[in-house]
Structure 1
């Protein structure tokens, strides 16, 4: 039997293991040797089986890999052929639609920033509530001008309003807390409103909307709309979306938005004084201030736009105009190369900036000169200035023009040079005091 097993294995696989051949020669005289031989044969069969299956698996993988690569190559060739036969960029350009030239809308047409299909019904009443600085008052007038042109009407009653818009402030924590408290009151009003009166839309505009957009929408589900200071043109569209029951927001800051083409509609009953915004934003980046992040970078309205608005106010009988800006005397109309700023811009003595100043253009002294000439009987003020932008020519113009009010508001921020440096204000205590003395010298009677 042992010989037969050995012969059979020898016919299948060669050469046999040495141990197997030796066991066969010893196994002729006893059964113990046959058992030993059988165990060696089983071990050899296991090894042969392992080698066989391993070779089989490798052969299958090789064949499968070859088939996969062949399929990939075929698909790649087909895609390359379709791509070569397809249209090219020149064909798209040749078939493209030429740009449409937009004409100025008629009085009956909706403004260009809102589609005709989204224009509201004439019974949509808006209630506007303003918090914070004079810039927010002017922003309220701008927002109302846009909404009025889009078909909205205004109401002085919260109970009658279909839309309630709060123009907010973020400079102080107290101002933000006042808005949160007001939203609680409006939330109760919105929940109690009967369905017969229709949906009540509540919106947050301005600096707080810019700073806390996500928190407002998550914390106050009753708020339908959030719009930053540079998104007022988008209000008609935002309101249209909000009326469908969806929360909507636009807090994109612009590098060039000044609303120069929009004539603000006065929202106050005051027919004596008016605010005129001449620039927006701030580049100074003081360490403690949120304004650059809620109002964006500095940009100024063109001189002709400011003059047109001031003339209109003069024709309406307004007696006093206040020019507004985050840094009002940093004004620069860069659309023209002529003006007092044709060379290197001048700063107050001892003052500096953390940014590179722009060259050329019409500066604040040029604008103030032209504004004061429109109506000698109209008083001119400005706020809020930065102490770095009071060169001698500005002070001299204020002194020479009777209708420019002899009042200057300049923030000190701190009386410590070390603290001013930490604030990144760009001046020392001594430089500020020197500026105050220079103002008193140029404008007698002004207490600074």
Structure 2
């Protein structure tokens, strides 16, 4: 889930994003600057890196020109993301020439995949650190300060960073990411994640609950539990009964444990693989009001044959049955998806199958991409990327247009309804209006009026208008 091809949530959604963070650097002897690209996991990882660096005497800055250390936390899932990072590194190299001693480093998935090119061939960076090696950053920085190029991209079967308290990046003080697991065991043929982030391993359940409790104590009112495939979360305590359940903790168990931290702490999660989301997860979601009624359920394609090529391990009919199950258990649940246009050998009929399954699922919004072959993936080794670029673009546009219509129709169905909205802050367009989200992850904008609400408060809002990406309402006086 990376760049949003369709900006359906015009008040909240961003793809590649700039993420320096607001920590006063005046008490630190060195300054660092960080940008994050790609998925929520990368943003969460940057918060871990921030914590590690602060422990070594580095303070953050918003101005990269005054930084002693510049870091880019990167993504390799889409070619465009890599191109953006390369362009940015070239810009930083120019600044580095005029500032001796400045170090530039690359973190994350792109670091693992392109370490040799970045260090030796293109000479764009001084430090390369993979997703499982952030604890080694202080030592690598020390070596780089002597003029050496340094690298650590070793993958781990144990690392979860469970003991590191993240520094919240650009935090609104209301919503926070909480990483619950790392890596991925699914070998989707188009995806590079298993090769850049390694095998699945789940974080200790009690450390997750403790982090959520601490966030609530600090005033946060919403957490998003993160993992490449959260539904395969599985943690076994060392001692029988140690976790209060007397058994291993599944994702459904973890959801319940987090929901019980406090009724006013909203719980979201991302991302779900359709094959792993269980009825127990769905019934747990339905049972707790503070578990948001929203599921990101990537379909990728509506064609069974293409899904088999993608190694998605489900059929078109199976996916549609899963959508039916979700709506039976939670009729008010919102769905979003990931969709790839122009995968290898995709025919026009198979493209129409994708449009059809979108209409069937009635996605509230989607993340939509042209297929881009990623070196090292199963698809790159097995299949020819044989769909012409102009065909891919046309198919993507048809997907985007349909999603726009689905999003608008979804918002029209909400006219006249009243939702519980968590206030996140001022609307981008009008400081006399609040912006928040409802349980279904839809952005809601409404006038502040004379009410003394603040960010972090819950308020009931009745919807009277909509755009394709935003609900517009007024505070309910009832």
Question: Same fold by TM-score, threshold 0.5 exceeded?
Answer: yes
Match of residue 176, structure 1, among 68, 71, 82: 82
Match of residue 422, structure 1, among 289, 301, 309: 309
**Equivalent in the alignment of 1:259:** 161
Shift of 1:218: 1.8
- Per-residue CA distance 1:234-263 (angstroms, 9 max, x = gap): 000000000111100000000010001111
CA change 1:270–1:202 in 2 (3 A) is same
Q: Does 1:361 align with 2:263?
A: no
- Per-residue CA distance 1:96-143 (angstroms, 9 max, x = gap): xxxxxxxxxxxxxxxxxxxxxxxxx94211111111111011000000
**Equivalent in the alignment of 1:186:** 92
Shift of 1:228: 0.2
- Cα distance in structure 2, aligned partners of 1:319 and 1:369: 16
- Cα distance in structure 1, aligned partners of 2:69 and 2:294: 40
Unaligned runs of 5+ in 2: 1-26, 242-246, 336-478
**Equivalent in the alignment of 2:279:** 392
- Per-residue CA distance 1:277-316 (angstroms, 9 max, x = gap): 0000000111111000000000010101101110110011
**Equivalent in the alignment of 1:132:** 38
- Cα distance in structure 2, aligned partners of 1:410 and 1:337: 34
Q: Could you tell me whether the CA contact under 8 Å between 1:338 and 1:362 is conserved in 2?
A: no
**Equivalent in the alignment of 1:88:** none
- Cα distance in structure 1, aligned partners of 2:145 and 2:305: 53
**What is the number of equivalent residue pairs in this alignment?**
304
- Cα distance in structure 2, aligned partners of 1:269 and 1:257: 25
Q: Does 1:229 align with 2:131?
A: yes
| Partner SS for 2:105 | strand
**Equivalent in the alignment of 1:403:** 290
Match of residue 437, structure 1, among 290, 315, 324: 324
Greater strand share, structure number:
2
- Cα distance in structure 2, aligned partners of 1:427 and 1:419: 11
Match of residue 378, structure 1, among 257, 265, 268: 265
Match of residue 188, structure 2, among 268, 279, 286: 286
Q: Which protein is bigger by CA-based radius of gyration?
A: 1
Taking CA–CA contacts closer than 8 Å with sequence separation of 6 or more, which of the two structures ends up with the larger relative contact order? 2
Q: Does 1:155 align with 2:57?
A: no
**Equivalent in the alignment of 2:198:** 296
Shift of 1:335: 3.1
Q: Could you tell me whether the CA contact under 8 Å between 1:336 and 1:361 is conserved in 2?
A: no
| Partner SS for 1:146 | helix
- Cα distance in structure 2, aligned partners of 1:326 and 1:199: 37
- Cα distance in structure 2, aligned partners of 1:217 and 1:325: 29
Shift of 1:336: 5.0
**Equivalent in the alignment of 2:70:** 164
Unaligned runs of 5+ in 1: 1-120, 340-359
- Cα distance in structure 2, aligned partners of 1:315 and 1:325: 24
- Cα distance in structure 2, aligned partners of 1:338 and 1:385: 29
CA change 1:171–1:338 in 2 (3 A) is farther
- Cα distance in structure 2, aligned partners of 1:427 and 1:319: 36
| Partner SS for 1:369 | helix
- Cα distance in structure 2, aligned partners of 1:165 and 1:392: 41
Shift of 1:219: 2.9
Q: Could you tell me whether the CA contact under 8 Å between 1:337 and 1:361 is conserved in 2?
A: no
TM-score computed with the length of structure 2 as normaliser: 0.62
- Cα distance in structure 2, aligned partners of 1:378 and 1:384: 20
Greater helix share, structure number:
1
**Equivalent in the alignment of 1:318:** 220
Q: Could you tell me whether the CA contact under 8 Å between 2:183 and 2:201 is conserved in 1?
A: yes
